Amino acid sequence: MNQTIKDIPESERPYEKCMRDGESTLSDSELLAVILRSGTRGKNSLNLANEILNHMEHSSYPGLLGILHSSLSDLKKIHGIGTVKAVQLKCIGELSKRISCAAARPNLSFQNPDSIAAYYMEQLRHQEQEIMICMMLDNQNHLLNDTILSKGTVNATLITPREVYLEALRYHAVSLILVHNHPGGNPVPSQCDREVTERIFRAGEMLGIGLLDHIIIGDHRYVSFREEGILGEYLE
């Protein structure tokens, strides 16, 4: 019960195993143990990592995904996890999302919905509430900025053309792309999604700021209003 890392044969210690065979050979618990560095009284880092993963098996998101969906207070309920280790665990999740985003950025094309979905996928697919992001482009189709317009249910009372285009005018954007997620994982547009998008599209026509697309992110899936021909319906 009071085993330390030094009590484990050197060939089986996560840090030494990583050095010898590479990080890809480590199990999930071994990777966590290396990142945590130390355990707590009565538990070495590997014991603690296993306890964290066992705890997640009883959550809505088993395994490593559970860490991403746990709050700091949730993590601190695990015996041996204090504020410092809880922050470490949360930062692992944030780092993974940023790495995914950075890897997708070189392939980002505003004429290619698939590349946009890949860019935002890890940021949005794990969210437990809807988040609407507005991408603002210049006349050379360069990204000026992206900004979160709202968190919560996307509907006509929360997302209005006024707040969308005030943000666009602030950056002197000539076109926009909207991106939002469906926490349930199914990216099929709702009737509300269609109504909100049409209002924003028509307001943009009057202002001379084009809405190029609205992309809905699900779980490893997406729907593009442009690809589905929905934006074209608003011109009829």
Q: Give yes or no for a contact between 16 and 10, defined as CB atoms under 8 angstroms apart.
A: yes
User: What are 141-197's pLDDT values in tens digits?
Assistant: 889 999 998 887 655 446 789 889 999 999 999 999 999 999 889 999 999 999 999
**Is residue 112 very low, low, confident or very high in pLDDT (cuts 50, 70, 90)?**
very high
Burial of 14 (0-12, 13-18, 19+ CB in 10 A): buried
Amino acid at 46: L
Q: Give yes or no for a contact between 139 and 174, defined as CB atoms under 8 angstroms apart.
A: yes
CA distance 139 to 75: 46
User: What are 211-221's pLDDT values in tens digits?
Assistant: 999 999 999 99
CA distance 115 to 118: 5
**pTM of structure:** 0.74
- All domains in the chain, ordered by first residue: 5-100 (1.10.150), 108-233 (3.40.140.10)
